[in-house]
């Protein structure tokens, strides 16, 4: 082999072109390998982050659902307590009404005795009562008398009694066979003056 300069340059050219191609391809393969590895690492990292986020989200949803169930239980308890309170209030109102009725009856008990006592004290000889009816604010009396004058005298003595207002004679009839006078009398009731 001769040392021919042109031959040497051909040899370098050939060498260079031969040497450069595998180096580029090796570099490209190396870059592709690195890219593939980085892609896989990125994919794994992304999957890991997604898994962690999914678990956190699932845990949060589960915690919220448990809280909602707890709140529903408490609301159900509160609803039953509210119903109990409403029932207790209704019972209280009923008891208050009963107490009011009992107090009214207790306060009216002496009034009935007082009315009967004043009625008995005011009646005079010759007047007989056959029927007595009491409403809230009045007495309705039916009876018989020997004379009309006995009824008039009795009406004046009723007017003096503290529980009675002015009596109103609604009806008066005389029976010729028995010579008795039948009457129907209304007496308004009033509070006694103190």
Given this model, what pLDDT does residue 5 score?
56
pLDDT digits (tens, 9 = 90+) for 32-86: 999 999 999 999 999 999 999 999 999 999 999 999 999 999 999 999 999 999 9
Q: How far apart are CA 183 and CA 123, in angstroms?
A: 14
Regions in the chain scoring below 70 on pLDDT:
1-21, 192-194
Cβ-count burial 125-153 (b if 16+ within 10 Å, e if not)? ebbeeeeeeeeeebbebebbbeeeebbeb
Residues contacting residue 131 through CB under 8 Å, at least 6 positions apart: 140, 141, 142, 143
Q: How far apart are CA 58 and CA 168, in angstroms?
A: 90
Structure token digits, residue 123 = 């009646």
What values do phi and psi take at 144, rounded to 5? -135, 150
CATH says 123-188 is which class? Answer: alpha beta
**Long-range contacts from 166-174, C-beta under 8 angstroms, 24+ separation:** 172/148, 174/148
Domain coordinates in residue numbering, the chain: 1-86, 123-188
């Amino acid at each position: 082999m001769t040392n021919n300069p042109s031959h040497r340059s051909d040899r370098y050219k050939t060498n260079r072109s031969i040497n450069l191609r595998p180096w580029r391809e090796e570099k490209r393969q190396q870059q592709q390998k690195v890219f593939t590895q980085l892609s896989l690492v990125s994919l794994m990292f992304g999957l890991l982050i997604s898994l962690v986020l999914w678990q956190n989200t699932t845990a949060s949803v589960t915690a919220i659902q448990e809280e909602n169930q707890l709140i529903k239980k408490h609301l159900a308890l509160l609803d039953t307590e509210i119903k109990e309170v409403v029932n207790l209030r209704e019972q209280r109102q009923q008891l208050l009404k009963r107490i009011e009725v009992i107090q009214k009856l207790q306060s009216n008990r002496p009034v009935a005795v007082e009315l009967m006592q004043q009625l008995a004290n005011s009646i005079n000889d010759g007047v007989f009562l056959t029927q007595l009816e009491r409403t809230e604010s009045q007495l309705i009396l039916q009876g018989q008398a020997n004379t009309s004058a006995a009824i008039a005298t009795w009406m004046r003595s009723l007017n003096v009694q503290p529980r009675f207002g002015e009596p109103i004679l609604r009806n008066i009839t005389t029976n010729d066979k028995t010579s008795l006078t039948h009457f129907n009398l209304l007496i308004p009731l009033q509070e006694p003056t103190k």
